[in-house]
Chains A and B, each alone.
Chain A
Amino acid sequence: MLTVDNTKAWLERFADKIETNKAYLSELDSVIGDGDHGNNMARGVKAMKEKLSEEDYAQPEEVLKDASMALLSKIGGASGPLYGSALLAMSKQAGQDSADLHAIIKAGLEGITKRGKAEVGEKTMVDVWSPVVEHLAEGTVTIEDVQDSVEATKELKASKGRASYLGERSLGELDPGAVSSGFLFEAMIEGEIIDE
């Protein structure tokens, strides 16, 4: 069940992970993209943290909405609209029912696919979000599940986004957006948001 406090704590933990791994994310991106994913994400989560610390919230969907807007306006590139759309869709769903985490994450995934048009298997963040939604449908998701999904992007050939221009050469590399999404879900699991 999402509350104002655990949603804020979740997103702050996510921000810390991004900041800690900024150089790592950019390094991954320099192999199959243009080397700025860490810098762009770090700029976004910094703005998000500032915004969340300024406001008093009554409902978790308000936290998600402000986080969405901060990420949308500060990340830029493709990741900005994708994370922004995900959190905006999650905010709408949380407004309907803040207890159903599966429905909330599923809404986020739909926000991403509506905006980015990527499907499972195209070596994008969808390849982490989709298995997390499936695990939650069955009850719970573990850190290991998330890390397995992230790791599995190595075996995929990119056909969306800038990495798609590498074709076969994208094989064997992690997708940076999948890795940053992995941090979001690790932060969610560590925040003990999932009702057992």
Chain B
Amino acid sequence: MKKIINQPDQVVDQMLKGFVYANGELVKRVPNTTVIVQKHKEKNKVALVSGGGSGHEPAHAGFVGKGMLTAAVAGEVFTSPSPDQVLEGIKAADNGAGVLLIIKNYTGDVMNFEMAKELAEAEGIVVEQLIVDDDIAVEDSTHTAGKRGVAGTVIVHKILGAAADLGMSLTDMKALGDELVKQVKSIGVALTAATVPEVGKPGFSLADDEMEYGVGIHSEPGYHRTKVKSSSAIAEELVSKLKQAFDFQSGETYGLLVNGLGATPLMEQYIFLHDVEKQLANEDVSVAFKKVGALMTSLDMNGVSLTLVKLEQDWLKLWQHPVDVTDW
């Protein structure tokens, strides 16, 4: 394992210190917690709180700021933060108009955030929760913990963050979120696995000439392992899976996110996006918004994911709403 770290068990704390030093104008850390909160909060707007295990940077602290998240709670690497930390995040974020929790669908995250919600409600804070499960690679979702929450979560941050900024109520945001989550679908491919600092070796092994479709952001196994393919062949596979999941209809409008998983250069992400464009050109749907970059990573995993969002009503306006965060 080659990493620029000190003690493997101190990576989260030391990362947060660096993050706050870099972005002190925009955010602050709640003392003695792993909570990053907006420095200049606006009263009477619904607060958005997300978080989860670390190792997915810039998710989630990089999306704290005006127009996206109010606070982000960081757990240990690939490990959900505990209820007391999430509670601190909820308390720090609350502007008096209620708090919406955005949770990636993993067993640990759901349990810890739900316990935090119960604790916050006991303290008189109004809290709603939204569980994002955009990973269509999970085929057998009834006999598993369900579809996982991956890169599409960032789009949920963006659209709901805009809604909150425009003054939407908590009840309306919860309803919007429930509709939105159904229209966000993602699928990825990994060329190498991520190495968790405290573990010291990759989470699974792939031969030099192999890749795997559908791997999760904590190295959960995917649905098909194969020899490494060209960018255009990968785009063909991922678009076909999404096409099937959405059941593309003529005239629909989509937004897309090409997300780097950590070790894949931006050059390759753009090459892949160009191939996605060519695949989608064969379909009778339009793409109104494109976003490229490493937004939901898996440490040093080499790979990309593709997220499509079927846009309804005025979601595009929310997607385009200006933000002041470090990493959108």
Identify which of B41-49, B64-72, B108-116, B271-279 touches chain A: B108-116
In the complex, which residues of chain A have a beta carbon less than 8 angstroms from the beta carbon of B218?
Answer: 34, 162
- One digit per residue, 1 when the CB lies within 8 angstroms of any chain B CB and 0 when it does not, for chain A 136-179 equals 00000000000000000000000111101111010000000000
| Listed stretches A48-56, A72-80, A187-195; interface member | A72-80
Residue of A nearest to B199 (CB): A35
> Shortest distance in angstroms between A184's beta carbon and chain B's nearest beta carbon?
19
A159: contacting residue among B78, B80, B106, B143, CB under 8 A: B143
A118 nearest in chain B by CB position: B107
- What range describes how many residues of B lie at the interface? 20 to 34
In the complex, whether B172 has a CB less than 8 A from a CB of chain A is no
B221 within 8 A of A: yes
Tell me whether A73 and B80 are in contact (CB under 8 A): no
Q: Are B111 and A75 in contact (CB under 8 A)?
A: no
Contact of A34 with B112 at beta-carbon distance under 8 Å, contacts A159-B144, A165-B144 already known: no
Q: Is the CB of A26 closer than 8 A to any CB of chain B?
A: yes
- Pick the contact of A164 from B53, B85, B115, B145 — CB < 8 Å? B145
Are A165 and B203 CB-contacts (below 8 A) given A34-B196, A72-B83?
no
**Those of A100-140 within 8 Å (CB) of chain B:** 115-116
Whether, in the assembled complex, B216 has its beta carbon less than 8 Å from a beta carbon of chain A, the answer is: yes
Chain B's nearest CB lies how many Å from the CB of A128?
Answer: 18
Report the minimum CB–CB distance from A42 to chain B (whole Å): 10
Q: Are A36 and B115 in contact (CB under 8 A)?
A: no
> Judging by beta carbons under 8 Å apart, are A80 and B82 in contact?
yes
A72-B84, A78-B80 as given contacts; A162 in contact with B106, CB under 8 Å: yes
A-B contact count (CB 8 A): 103
A40 within 8 A of B: yes
A34→B219 contact, CB < 8 A: yes
B312 at the interface (CB under 8 A from A): no
B137, closest chain A residue (CB): A165
B77 partner, pick from A36, A72, A161, A169, beta carbons under 8 A: A36
* Shortest distance between the CB of B244 and any CB in chain A (Å): 20
Interchain nearest-CB distance for A29 vs B (Å):
9
- Among B53, B111, B203, which residue has its beta carbon within 8 angstroms of that of A81? B111
A162 touches which one: B81, B199, B220 (CB < 8 A)? B220
Residue pair B144, A78 in contact (C-beta under 8 Å) = no
Task: Give chain B's interface residues, CB within 8 Å of chain A.
Answer: 9, 53, 75-85, 106-108, 111-112, 115, 138, 140, 143-145, 148, 196, 198-199, 203, 216, 218-221
Interface residues of A (CB under 8 A from B): 26, 30, 34-36, 39-40, 43, 72-82, 84, 115-116, 159-162, 164-167, 169
Shortest 8 CB-CB distances between A and B: which pairs? A78-B108, A164-B144, A77-B108, A81-B111, A76-B79, A165-B220, A77-B79, A35-B199
